[in-house]
Amino acid sequence: MSLSSFFNKEDILILDEAMERDQAISKLLEHLSKAENVPNIEQHLKAVIERENTDCTVVGDGIALPHARLTDIDRPYIGVATSRQGIDFAEDNDPVQLMMLILIPSSQPGLYLQLLRALGSVLSDKQAASRLSEMETSLEIMRFFERDGLTLPDYVCAADIMRKTLITLRENDSLQSAVDCFINKDLDEIPVVDKDGDIVGVVSATSLLHVCLPEYLTWMNDLSPIINFEPFTNVLRNEQNTWLADILVEDFPSVQVDEPAISVAATLLKRQAAKCYVLDGKKLKGAISLPNFLNKIFRE
Amino acid sequence: MHSESAAPATMSQTLTKIASVVGLTLFICWGCGKLDVAINTKQTIAIGTFAATICTTLFFWNHRVAVAFAGLSVLIGAHAMTLDQVIHHTELNIIFFLIGMMIIIGALKDLGFLTWIIQSIINRKKMTGMTFMIILCFLSAVLSSIVGEVSSIVVVMALVFQVCDTLKINPIPFVMTSVLCTNIGSAATMLGNPVGVFIGSKAGFTFGQFLFGATPVALICTVVSLAFLLIWYRKAIREMTVKMEEHRKMNKGLGPLVRLPYRLGLFVLTGTVVTIAFHHQIEAALGILGEGNQNAFLIMTPLLVAALLMIYRSKRAQYYVEKEVEWWTLLFFMLLFSIAGGLQVTGVTDNLATQLTKLITGGPDAMVPFVIGISSVGSAFVDNIVFVAAFTPIIQSLVERSIDYSILWWALLFGACFGGNITAIGSTANIVALGLLEKRGHACVAFLEWLKIGSIIGLITGLIAWLMLSIMPVPKPVIHGSHGPVPEQHAPAHNIQPLNLEPLNL
């Protein structure tokens, strides 16, 4: 299904003056309501603004995608607005030239993410928003969206919901670096990669605790023999010459980038894990945490 | 037996399983009728109920208690057993013994004694793959013979995972070694396996007699199996030696170095075992011998020690009773013993014994390989206690005819314990070890991979048991089993002489 099948040239609004975010959204919503007979626009405006206040939807150079999941619509609606003068979306962002307002029925949780993927080439094109704002008719704008490549994928895949992992450790890093990372970056799990960027395992605060305090030590009800952290002594003494390769967990939850996002949920449940790593072959591409997953599917 | 899968079964799978249970039960009833084992309706009902219970353990492990409850109702409703007989055959003495032991083991865990065992091995200096295997093998065998196979395997698995995870090596060869030796060691004493205390109690063996009869066989089987496993897993052992050497060079240990108190735990365990070992002498001194008091102190010792521990750690007493005692398993045992008692009450086991003597005409010695073989193969697929519960009355019936048949008690013990090694579902220790392996995220042992090494060890140990029973004078029971129907005056003359402090007929 192509992206352009979700709207037509009547749903496009060319704004000829600079304006604030809420005013622009309101104008576009009114326009969409007239063109498509969308009901309850006041409630929808409230929902879109609330969503926008929670998390700004400026996604690329000059592009914003305000949206809301609504219970009283049974099909998606998309309205497009362009502005040469720009719309002020957020204080720390430049004014946007392209705004796509997306209303999604709450019964289709993955649709917004599918639309985002369909917009991939537009979002990555730094000139797209500015070129579109120069167009003078809605027909020209419509033709832009009717070009090849702007098609919806059949399903949301892991890559659509992952967060790029920023912090990694190398297998020849010492335990000391991992402990520093856990403490300074407030992390509880860090992926470990080799020199090619292939993931070799995961080192977690829990696995580190297991090294210090194996399960059989917790069989005792009376912990007085280890009350002064005696089992930690050996690990602390060797902190600098214990390599992560020695303590990392090689069996961690993972999915491939192109796997359906639903398999992330299945993996998280099966493994009773809070985080799943996204790989391209063996290359680490990102990670999906449980809150991250829930946010993408239920809220974003 | 324990094949209830995690994934929900489809309707067609469930119907197939139900059809299998019904089909197998009817087939067994029909077969017993044809072989003149089930001569009347009550006998057919008793066989049907027992067969249905066995088949349920095979196909619906989680429903075994429900089916056993229903089975007892059928037996009473069909007049095959009276309520009194049902209660009488629950073998509460064995259940009490097991409850006491479970509480003691729970307290030992709590006191840090089991942790201390692991720590002492991890902290050994200059260990190699070979010494680790030898320690593992004997620790599994000895520990299971004292604290029981399930508690033993949990401790030994913790040791294996600690060492293998630290060295980053595949734990499967060491897991297999532990499990195989645990099952062999569990035959060494009455404490090793519920089967041991059941046979000991039904046959009327004292703890001392059991030691004389079972420990040498279990010891030789452990040594021979160890020799075989050292060759079979030589590559893994070599790899472990290399990794241990590398680890030592970097001045790293195999785990945390902690000093733990062990004296109290050691005292409790030693005290319990020694008291149990001299139960017969204590019974004689206290004058609690004879019909109705058989092995009374053997049963009471774990309860007494458990009582002292629960007083000593009164805040944990409720925890020990509620969490450390496996009530579900014990309830199943009680129901199963009762249903197996139905076979005895209705005379099925007498008929089976008669048919067996007709089939195998060479006397007790000729029956030894038969009993070892059939109980090994049976225990490989069905819970060994189920198999032993069914076989016990048959041997009791044979022993009533001649005390020489008492050698079959040992054949049954070794067959049931060693047979547990053949398949991955052969004993509770196997299931627990596989569960722990899976939980730790290690690769699973494939059914055929287990069968390969398990059947070799099963065959070797079975042959050793046969050979030893042929050449070794084994103890004969001092007194008949608690529920044996034989009046005292029918027992062979040499069997009712005053109770000795030494095992008889050695």
Coil, strand or helix at A20: strand
**What CATH code is assigned to A169-299?**
3.10.580.10
Q: What b/e sequence results for B361-395 when a residue is b if at least 16 CB atoms lie within 10 Å of its CB, and e otherwise?
A: eeebeebbbbbbbbbbbbbbbbbbbbbbbbbbbbb
Query: pLDDT exceeding 90 applies to what percent of chain A?
Result: 26
DSSP string of B339-378, one letter each residue: HHHHHHHTTHHHHHHHHHHHH-TT-HHHHHHHHHHHHHHH
Instruction: Report chain A residues whose CB lies below 8 A from the CB of B166.
Output: 246
Instruction: Write down the pLDDT at residue B482.
Output: 43
Nearest by CB to A220, from B110, B155, B250: name it.
Answer: B110
- Mean pLDDT is lowest, of A13-27, A139-153, B110-124, for A139-153
Residue B490 has pLDDT above 70, yes or no: no
Q: Which residue of B has its CA nearest to A229?
A: B258
Per-residue model confidence as pLDDT tens digits over A21-38: 999 999 999 999 888 888
Residues of chain A with CATH 3.40.930.10: 3-152
Nearest by CB to B256, from A214, A249, A251: name it.
Answer: A214
CA B137 to chain centre: 18
Please report, for residues B206, B284, B349, the alpha-carbon distance to residue B479 in angstroms, rounded to integers and kept in the order given.
Answer: 9, 14, 20
Instruction: Please compute the mean of the pLDDT values over residues A161-167 and round it to a whole number.
Output: 82
Residue B129 has pLDDT above 90, yes or no: yes
> Smallest CA–CA separation between B49 and chain A, in Å?
39
User: Across the interface, do B109 and A220 touch by the CB < 8 Å criterion?
Assistant: yes
Q: How far apart are CA A64 and CA A101, in angstroms?
A: 8
Please state whether beta strands A283-289 and A275-280 pair in parallel, antiparallel, or not at all (unpaired). Answer: antiparallel
- CA torsion sign for B138, B141, B143, B149 is positive
Q: Which residue of A has its CA nearest to B319?
A: A221
User: Across the interface, do B114 and A213 touch by the CB < 8 Å criterion?
Assistant: no
3-state per-residue secondary structure call for B296-338: HHHHHHHHHHHHHHHHHCHHHHHHHHHHHCCHHHHHHHHHHHH
User: Across the interface, do B256 and A231 touch by the CB < 8 Å criterion?
Assistant: yes
Domain residues of chain B, as ranges? Answer: 1-80
Residue B498 has pLDDT above 50, yes or no: no
Instruction: Report chain A residues whose CB lies below 8 A from the CB of B167.
Output: none
3-state per-residue secondary structure call for B53-112: HHHHHHHCHHHHHHHHHHHHHHHHHCCCCCHHHHHHCCCHHHHHHHHHHHHHHHHHHHHC
* Dihedral over alpha carbons B252, B255, B257, B263 (to 10 degrees): -150
User: Across the interface, do A214 and B162 touch by the CB < 8 Å criterion?
Assistant: yes
Q: How far apart are CA A251 and CA A254, in angstroms?
A: 9
> Smallest CA–CA separation between B155 and chain A, in Å?
8
User: Across the interface, do A221 and B260 touch by the CB < 8 Å criterion?
Assistant: no
Report the mean per-residue pLDDT for chain A. 86
Q: How far apart are CA B299 and CA A222, in angstroms?
A: 29
**What CATH code is assigned to A3-152?**
3.40.930.10
- Mark out the alpha helices in A55-137 (DSSP H runs): 111-118, 120-124, 128-134
Q: Which two tokens stand for residue B26?
A: 């009817």
| ipTM, interface predicted TM-score of the complex | 0.70
DSSP string of A79-96, one letter each residue: EEEEEEEEEE--TTSPPE
* Dihedral over alpha carbons B428, B432, B433, B436 (to 10 degrees): 180
User: Across the interface, do B168 and A246 touch by the CB < 8 Å criterion?
Assistant: yes
Q: Which two tokens stand for residue A136?
A: 């003078």
Residue B58 has pLDDT above 90, yes or no: no
Coil, strand or helix at A126: coil
CB B293 within 8 A of CB B482: no
Return the higher-pLDDT residue of B58 and A71. A71
Q: How far apart are CA A27 and CA A35, in angstroms?
A: 12
Per-residue model confidence as pLDDT tens digits over B16-30: 888 888 888 888 888
- Mean pLDDT is lowest, of A116-120, A181-185, B488-492, for B488-492
Q: Which residue of A has its CA nearest to B265?
A: A220
Residues of A near B (CB-CB distance < 8 A)? 212-217, 219-222, 225-226, 230-235, 238, 241-242, 245-246, 249, 251
User: Across the interface, do B110 and A225 touch by the CB < 8 Å criterion?
Assistant: no
To test the contact with chain B by mutation, choose from A200, A216, A222 the residue with the greatest count of B C-beta atoms within 10 A, namely: A216
Per-residue model confidence as pLDDT tens digits over A107-141: 887 888 888 888 877 777 888 888 899 998 999 99
Instruction: Report chain A residues whose CB lies below 8 A from the CB of B109.
Output: 219-220
Q: Which residue of B has its CA nearest to A215?
A: B158
> How many residue pairs from chains A and B have C-beta atoms closer than 8 A?
66
Query: pLDDT exceeding 90 applies to what percent of chain B?
Result: 41
> Smallest CA–CA separation between A222 and chain B, in Å?
7
- Mean pLDDT is lowest, of A26-40, B173-187, B454-468, B490-504, for B490-504
Per-residue model confidence as pLDDT tens digits over B244-284: 998 888 777 788 878 888 889 999 999 999 999 888 888 88
Amino acid identity of A202?
Answer: V
> Smallest CA–CA separation between B80 and chain A, in Å?
47
CB B63 within 8 A of CB B56: yes
3-state per-residue secondary structure call for A211-228: HHCCHHHHHCCCCHHHCC
Location of structure tokens 């005379």: B347
Residues 252-311 of B with CB under 8 A from A: 252-253, 255-261
Q: What residues are paired with B284 via a beta bridge? A: none
Q: CB count, 10 Å around CB of A71?
A: 10
User: Across the interface, do A234 and B259 touch by the CB < 8 Å criterion?
Assistant: no
Instruction: Report chain B residues whose CB lies below 8 A from the CB of A217.
Output: 115, 256, 258
User: Across the interface, do B115 and A232 touch by the CB < 8 Å criterion?
Assistant: no
